[in-house]
Amino acid sequence: MRGKVVVITGGTSGIGEVAAEALAGMGARLVLIARDPARAEATLERLRAKGPQATHRVHLADLSLMSETRRVAAEIAAAEPRIDVLINNAGAMFGTRRVTPEGLELTFATNHMSYFLLTHGLRERLLAAAPSRVINTASAAHRRATLDFDDLQSSRNYRGFMVYSRSKLCNILYTRELARRSAGTGLAANCLHPGFVATRFADASGGLFSWVVRASKKVFAISVEKGAETLIYLASSPEVATVSGAYFHECRPATPTRAAQDDAAARRLWEETARLAGLRS
């Protein structure tokens, strides 16, 4: 990874932070996108400790907002002529339905829209570094989900974990369609389930489910180091240099649900997402 540029979201906590540290330790230069300046500075300190020679950077943005995601993508594109790896990893779950000032349901906006818009904004820089990689953190939670194209903003019957699961199904479908559209360009796109990991995830989601997740983590969750392994593998291993459009778990290809292999749905999701973002698909 020496000399490679890795852009990562959700690098200030959990599996993203451990992956960022590991990749910095392999010689990569990290570009973090973070929303909290103090947490970002703490992560930067940890990255510098792995290799003081690399000039890691932070760009601040709230990725639940399309305007912020577009702005930060443009900022990074202006600063980085080549990007070798983009890791879309920031994610969250919300116990009650919230809507962003831009009119999107908060889980959909944070977990899906930001992946789409950030990749779109950095695509030229990724192509400039080809062979390059986009890695999207999804989840086995997608197994419970189907998409309702008439209600992508979950305005009916909101249940936090179901809406989260749908956003993770979106991550897999988006990865498939990105891989299909990028075939022959040298840009590979893959996604992963990290396992059930003892991170801060869902600690602040609110409601009974957040309590259940916190209690379950104490008993069943794997360590953050173990949970970061597939992310690190997909970002750095030569074994997966030519693999694209796949879903991984424990550093091996895995089979997602039928709904997550529906290429017509993947195409439709891309088109709907582009429309919501005001882009031509």
- Confirm or reject binding of residue 15 to ligand NAP (CB under 6 A): yes
Which CB contacts under 8 angstroms, 24+ apart, belong to 153-156?
153/99, 153/103, 153/104, 153/105, 153/108, 154/97, 154/105, 154/107, 154/108, 155/97, 155/105
Nearer to ligand NAP by Cβ, of 180 and 249: the residue is 249
140: closest CA among 117, 169, 161?
A: 169
CB atoms within 10 A of CB 55: 9
CB within 8 A of 45, min separation 6: which ones?
Answer: none
- Confirm or reject binding of residue 136 to ligand NAP (CB under 6 A): no
Q: Given the rule CB under 6 A, which of 22-30, 95-103, 198-206, 269-277 is the region that contacts ligand NAP?
A: 198-206
Q: What's the rounded Cα separation, in Å, for the pair 275 and 199?
A: 34
- Active-site choice (115, 158, 164, 233): 164
Q: Given the rule CB under 6 A, which of 77-85, 88-96, 175-183, 250-258 is the region that contacts ligand NAP?
A: 88-96
Nearer to ligand NAP by Cβ, of 66 and 265: the residue is 66
- Confirm or reject binding of residue 273 to ligand NAP (CB under 6 A): no
Task: Pick from 14, 95, 121, 160 the residue near ligand NAP by CB under 6 A.
Answer: 14
Residues 138-197 that bind ligand NAP (CB under 6 A): 139, 193-194, 196-197
Any idea of the CA torsion for 13, 16, 18, 22, to the nearest 10 degrees?
A: -150
Binding site for ligand NAP (CB under 6 A): 9-10, 12-16, 35-36, 39, 62-64, 89-92, 110, 137, 139, 193-194, 196-197, 199-201
